[in-house]
Amino acid sequence: MNFYETALYQIKRATKVLGYDEATVEALLAPKRALEVNFTVKMDDGRVKLFKGYRVQHTDALGPAKGGIRFHPSVDFDEVKALSTLMSFKCAVVGLPYGGGKGGVKCNPKELSESELERLSRAYIRAISQIVSSEKDIPAPDVYTNPKIMGWMMDEFSTLKGYNDFGFITGKPLSVGGSEGRVSATARGCLFVTKAACEKLGIAIHGAKVVIHGYGNAGSIAASQFAALGANIIAIADSKTGVYDPQGIDVELANKIKAETGSLENYPHGEKVAPGDIFKYECDILIPASFEGVINGNNAEDINAKIVVEVANGPITPEADGILAKKNVIVLPDILASAGGVTVSYFEWVQNRMGYYWSPEEVDEKLEKLMYKAFNEIYQLKQETNCEDFRVAAFAVAAKKIVQAMKDRGWV
């Protein structure tokens, strides 16, 4: 199965538990709106280059579509459809008044100068401007996009509208309507969900062995957050280098080296290994924070963790899910474990609409409350239905909310 087929497979598993009829399931599966755009950008050397972009809105039953924009060479229509679908369920599972959206541009941002990147960002927003707004579809950062790019996009959209529309996009710099806590939100949400699960399962985070695959923003911050609670980070990996140290990674030093050099290659302690090799180490908590499909049929048997917490989108394939279930490995699924980012994006949108901004402590308190509530709803449904794993339970909780909104609106 490709990524999109996998997303549909997970929905079908959940709707089977809920006993929905075929028409209701079909309404859940089909994206409501999809846009493919082609636009030109003038490069620094004077050439004009054509780029392809996408924006997909899976559903707006619960509210405006919401989801990130990624810049990556692998971006294609199926990937964006899958991500928008998963965003619908991610928003619903934590109780946000949003549907799912996602966008992307097929490009290699590492090959673009900053001025080229800005022109590409603005051109993309012009191309999709008719279907997005603070009332219709609210974008956000994703792979290889960041607050600076969100600021450019917000400015371009505001220029088109003739007034400042800070709430059109989230993940912005603080100076133009961003929210405190947004940068660390995905990692904080992961931490709160893991704490909630560990409390139910009788696992102590203090002293727990933690392995983190993927050392970008979410992975590095998660390392700091878990270490601050006394966890022992025994292995980390970015796209090129893995580091294993049973005595514990010096997270502060690793983060400094990664920030300064862009790589973990120069981390001076422990053993250097291939990035994929860190999956085999015995640990209490494994956090895949890189890309989809990194845990699959080829390496799932090697996983030696009590809990896997999916910070990346779709890091475990269905085949690997089955293998982990047989090994009694608990998986906290991405639509829950990585929902901290979109939750604080929601907070940012609310603050933009209010014109009143919260302190970091307020944001953190509200995030923790929502993440605990979401986990407990999933845990309760899992107990009531005896469904096979937390992924099915999470998709079922989300599906119930989306379908109820569809019924109340007379759609199904």
Cite the active site residues: 102
- 186, 193 in Cβ contact below 8 A? no
Residue count (the chain): 412
- Cα separation, 297 vs 290, in Å, equals 17
Strands of the 242-244 sheet, one edge to the other: 271-273, 242-244, 232-237, 209-213, 283-288, 305-309, 330-332
Residue 27, CA atoms < 13 Å, CB-side half-sphere: 19
Instruction: Find how far residue 60's CA is from the centre of its chain.
Output: 19
Task: Find the farthest-apart pair of alpha carbons in the chain and give their distance in angstroms, rounded.
Answer: 63
- Cα separation, 172 vs 164, in Å, equals 13
Q: Which residues contact 41 (CB under 8 A, 6 or more apart)?
A: 48, 49, 51, 116, 119, 120, 123
- Cα separation, 394 vs 405, in Å, equals 17
| DSSP element (H, E) containing 225 | helix 217-228
Beta bridge partners of 102: 56
DSSP 234: E
Helix axes 3-18, 390-408, angle to 10 degrees: 80
What is the torsion angle, in degrees rounded to the nearest 10, for the CA atoms of residue 232, residue 233, residue 234 and residue 236? 180
DSSP H helix total and E strand total for the chain: 13, 12
Q: Which of 254, 246, 290 is nearest to 271 (CA)?
A: 246
